[in-house]
Amino acid sequence: MFKPNILIALFFWLLSTSAAHAESLPSDLIWITNNDAPIWADLSAEKGGVFSSYMLAFPPTLRSVGPDSNNSFRSYINANQLGLTSFHPDSMEIIPQIATSWAYGKDRKTVFYKLNPNARWSDGESVTADDFLFTLDFMRSTHIQAPWYNNHYSTQITSVKKYDDHSISITGAVARPKDELHYYYGLAPTPKHFYKKLDTDFIKKHNWKIVPNTGPYQIGKINKGKQIEFIRKDNWWAKDNRYNLGRFNVNKVIIKVIRDPNIAYKHFEKGNLDSFTLVQPEFWHNKAKGKLFDNGYIEKFVFYNDKPRSSSGFFLNQDNEILKDKHIRVALAHALNFDRVIKTVLRGDYERLQTFHTGYGEYSNDSLKARNFDLDTANKILDSNGWETRGGDGIRIKGRQRLSLNLVYGSKEHNDRWSILKQDAIKAGIELNLKLQDSSSHYKTIMQKQHQITSLGWSTGFRPAFWQHFHSDNAHKPQTNNITNTDDKTMDDLIIQYRNEINKDKRIKLSKELASIIHESAAFIPDFNVPYTRGAHWRWLKLPEVPGSKTTGNLYSPFGDGGLFWIDNKQKIETKTARKSSTKYPVVNKVFDQYKVNS
Amino acid sequence: MNFLSPQGQRRLQKFKSLKRGYYSFVLMISLILLSLVAELFVNNRPLVVQYNDQIYFPTYGDILPGTIFGYDYQWETNYKKLESDFVKSQNGNWMIMPIVPFSPFENNFIEGEYPPYPPSISSKHYLGTDMAGRDILARLIYGFRIAILFSLLLLTVTYVIGVSLGAVMGYLGGTFDLVFQRIIEILSNVPILYIIMIVASIITPNFWTLALLLAAFSWMGLTWYMRTETYRENTREYVLAARAIGASNTRIMFKHILPNSVSILVTFFPFSVVSGITALTSLDYLGFGLPSPTPSWGELLQQGTSNLEYQWIAASAVAALSIVLTLVTFIGEAIREAFDPKKYSYYE
Mean pLDDT, residues B34-57 taken together: 92
pLDDT of res. A302: 94
- Mutation pick from A345, A404, A411, A424 vs chain B, by most beta carbons of B within 10 Å, is A345
Rounded Cα distance between A494 and A513, Å, is 8
Question: pLDDT band at residue B314, thresholds of 50, 70 and 90?
Answer: very high
Q: Decide if A287 and B287 are in contact by the 8 Å CB cutoff.
A: no
Mean pLDDT, residues B213-241 taken together: 89
Q: Decide if B114 and A433 are in contact by the 8 Å CB cutoff.
A: no
Question: pLDDT band at residue A10, thresholds of 50, 70 and 90?
Answer: very low
What architecture is the A23-43+58-205 domain classified under in CATH?
Alpha-Beta Complex (3.90)
> Residue B188 burial (CB < 10 Å; 0-12/13-18/19+)?
middle
Q: Please enumerate residues of A whose Cβ is less than 8 A from a Cβ of B.
A: 260, 262, 282, 285-287, 343-345, 347, 375, 379, 390, 392-394, 408, 412, 415-416, 418-420, 422-423, 426-429, 433-438, 440-441
Q: What digits encode the pLDDT tens for the residues A83-95?
A: 999 999 988 899 9
Mean pLDDT, residues A411-419 taken together: 88
* B348–A contact, CB cutoff 8 A: no
Rounded Cα distance between B67 and A255, Å, is 57
Q: Which of A417-431, A492-506, A523-537, B4-18 has the lowest mean pLDDT?
A: B4-18
Nearest to A394 among B75, B133, B291 (CB): B75
pLDDT of res. A16: 46
Instruction: Please report, for residues A261, A272, A434, B114, B213, the alpha-carbon distance to residue A408 in angstroms, rounded to integers and kept in the order given.
Output: 20, 32, 6, 26, 22
Q: Decide if B287 and A419 are in contact by the 8 Å CB cutoff.
A: no
In a domain, B61, yes or no: no
φ, ψ of residue B68 in degrees (nearest 5):
-60, -35
Rounded Cα distance between B99 and B43, Å, is 8
Residue of B nearest to A451 (CA): B203
Taking a C-beta distance cutoff of 8 angstroms, is the pair A39, A245 a contact?
Answer: yes
Q: Decide if B201 and A422 are in contact by the 8 Å CB cutoff.
A: no
Pairing mode of beta strands A252-257, A227-232: antiparallel
- Nearest 5°: the CA angle B95, B97, B100 is 170
Sign of the alpha-carbon dihedral angle for B298, B302, B303, B309 = positive
pLDDT of res. A15: 44
Rounded Cα distance between B318 and B199, Å, is 28
How high is the ipTM of this complex?
A: 0.81
Decide: helix, strand or coil at residue A383.
helix
Measured in angstroms, the CA of B202 and the nearest CA of chain A are apart by: 6
Output the DSSP codes for A546-561: S-S-TT-S-TT--STT
> Packing angle between helix B136-172 and helix B19-36, nearest 10 degrees?
110
Question: pLDDT band at residue A17, thresholds of 50, 70 and 90?
Answer: very low
Q: What digits encode the pLDDT tens for the residues A562-585?
A: 899 999 999 999 999 999 998 999
Q: Which residues on A lie below 8 Å from B202 (Cβ)? A: 437, 441
Q: What digits encode the pLDDT tens for the residues A500-556?
A: 888 888 999 999 999 999 999 999 999 999 999 999 999 999 999 989 998 888 999
- Look at residue A14 and tell me whether its pLDDT is greater than 50: no
* B54–A contact, CB cutoff 8 A: no
Rounded Cα distance between B53 and B92, Å, is 9
Rounded Cα distance between A76 and A558, Å, is 9
Counting the structural domains of chain B, the total is 1
Q: A-contacting residues of B 116-145, CB under 8 Å?
A: 131-133
pLDDT of res. A262: 86
Q: Decide if A393 and B75 are in contact by the 8 Å CB cutoff.
A: no
Predicted TM-score (pTM) of the model is 0.76
Mean pLDDT, residues B163-168 taken together: 90
pLDDT of res. B222: 87
Question: pLDDT band at residue A113, thresholds of 50, 70 and 90?
Answer: very high
In a domain, B17, yes or no: yes
Instruction: Please report, for residues B138, B272, B288, B348, the alpha-carbon distance to residue B277 in angstroms, rounded to integers and kept in the order given.
Output: 18, 9, 15, 40
Measured in angstroms, the CA of B142 and the nearest CA of chain A are apart by: 17
User: For the sheet containing A396-398, what is the strand order?
Assistant: A389-390, A396-398, A401-402
* B8–A contact, CB cutoff 8 A: no
A478 preceded by cis ω (within 30°)? Answer: no
Assign residue A375 a region (left: φ > 0; alpha: ψ between -120 and 50; beta: otherwise): alpha
Number of CB atoms found within 10 A of residue B251's CB: 13
User: For the sheet containing B94-96, what is the strand order?
Assistant: B54-56, B48-51, B94-96
Question: pLDDT band at residue B341, thresholds of 50, 70 and 90?
Answer: low
In a domain, B208, yes or no: yes
* B109–A contact, CB cutoff 8 A: yes
State CA A343 to chain mean position distance: 28
Mean pLDDT, residues A254-266 taken together: 92
Mean pLDDT, residues A34-45 taken together: 92
Q: Decide if B204 and A286 are in contact by the 8 Å CB cutoff.
A: no
Q: What digits encode the pLDDT tens for the residues A160-212?
A: 999 999 999 999 988 888 888 998 899 999 999 999 889 999 999 999 999 99
Q: What digits encode the pLDDT tens for the residues B115-157?
A: 889 999 988 999 999 988 899 999 999 999 999 999 999 999 9
Taking a C-beta distance cutoff of 8 angstroms, is the pair A547, A402 a contact?
Answer: no
In a domain, B305, yes or no: yes
Residue of B161, B282, B175 lying closest to B226 (CA atoms): B161
Measured in angstroms, the CA of B107 and the nearest CA of chain A are apart by: 7
- Mutation pick from A344, A383, A433, A450 vs chain B, by most beta carbons of B within 10 Å, is A344
φ, ψ of residue B80 in degrees (nearest 5):
-65, -40
Residue of B nearest to A341 (CA): B132
φ, ψ of residue A376 in degrees (nearest 5):
-60, -50
Rounded Cα distance between B10 and A521, Å, is 74
What architecture is the A311-529 domain classified under in CATH?
Roll (3.10)
In a domain, B45, yes or no: no
In a domain, B46, yes or no: no
Output the DSSP codes for B226-255: HHHHHHHHHTSHHHHHHHHTT--HHHIIII
pLDDT of res. B1: 45
The β-bridge partners of A52 are A254
Within 8 A by CB and 6+ apart from A56, the residues are A72, A257, A258, A259, A260, A261, A439
Within 8 A by CB and 6+ apart from A61, the residues are A67, A68, A69, A71, A207, A208
Q: Decide if B114 and A347 are in contact by the 8 Å CB cutoff.
A: yes
* Domain parsing of chain A, residue ranges: 23-43+58-205, 260-301+534-599, 311-529
CATH number for the domain spanning B153: value is 1.10.3720.10
pLDDT exceeding 70 applies to what percent of chain A? 96
Range of the domain at B240: 6-37+138-344
Taking a C-beta distance cutoff of 8 angstroms, is the pair A254, A53 a contact?
Answer: yes
